[in-house]
Amino acid sequence: MSRKYLAVLAALALLSPAVAEMEFGDVDKNQDGFISAEELTVMPELQQSMTDFDLDEDGQLSEEEFTKYLDAGKPAEKGG
């Protein structure tokens, strides 16, 4: 297993219910439409693995990238 994969798994395991309920606007304190590493102090697990979710590698998270992080930590819905 790669180190990056293990880091993502560890971050998701630490995703608490309170963090999972956070919305993009709660974290984007300066309301510029992006979340910087500094703004992620309220989410240290994401701050540590930010590069894994920063898909365009611009050093910040868009709302789409942030949502992918939150969605990755949710249990899969069971069909049927």
Q: What is the CATH number of the domain that holds 48?
A: 1.10.238.10
pTM equals 0.69
Residue 44 inside a domain? The answer is yes
Predicted confidence at residue 9, as pLDDT, reads: 56
Domain count of the chain?
Answer: 1
Kindly tell me if the per-residue pLDDT of 78 is higher than 70.
no
Distance CA 28, CA 34 (A): 6
For every residue of 1-30, DSSP letters joined together read --HHHHHHHHHHHT--HHHHT--HHHH-TT
| Domain of 25, in residue numbers | 21-72
Residue 45 inside a domain? The answer is yes
Predicted confidence at residue 11, as pLDDT, reads: 59
Q: How many CB atoms lie within 10 A of CB 10?
A: 12
Residue 79 inside a domain? The answer is no
pLDDT tens digits, residue range 11-50? 555 555 455 567 899 999 999 999 999 999 988 888 988 9
Kindly tell me if the per-residue pLDDT of 7 is higher than 80.
no
Give the strand pairing for 35-36 and 60-61: antiparallel
Residue 5 inside a domain? The answer is no
